[in-house]
Amino acid sequence: MKLLLGEKDLWIIKEIDTLIREKFYIPYSERQIRRILKGFKMRHAKPYQMNYRKPENAEEKLGTMDQKAGCHS
């Protein structure tokens, strides 16, 4: 199970639930899944939205803009 979870960086509880049901045919509650993750020394967190419009080099562009504006860090 831990190897399967290692294939991907970020999981949500529902995805793990689906994985367990499909691979092992075992239904677990969300609480049980969190306990399993804790036993694997893995953590869970609330997912956050990614801004799909953010350019790949946003931090670089921001730094360039700060330099042009005369901002000092």
User: Is the Cβ–Cβ distance between 57 and 22 less than 8 Å?
Assistant: no
Phi and psi at 68, nearest 5°, equal -65, -35
pTM over 0.85: no
* Residue 28 burial by Cβ neighbours in a 10 Å radius (0-12, 13-18, 19+): middle
User: Is the Cβ–Cβ distance between 16 and 40 less than 8 Å?
Assistant: no
pLDDT at 71 over 60: no
User: Is the Cβ–Cβ distance between 5 and 16 less than 8 Å?
Assistant: yes
pLDDT tens per residue across span 12-41? 889 999 999 999 999 999 999 999 889 988
**Domain parsing of the chain, residue ranges:** 2-69
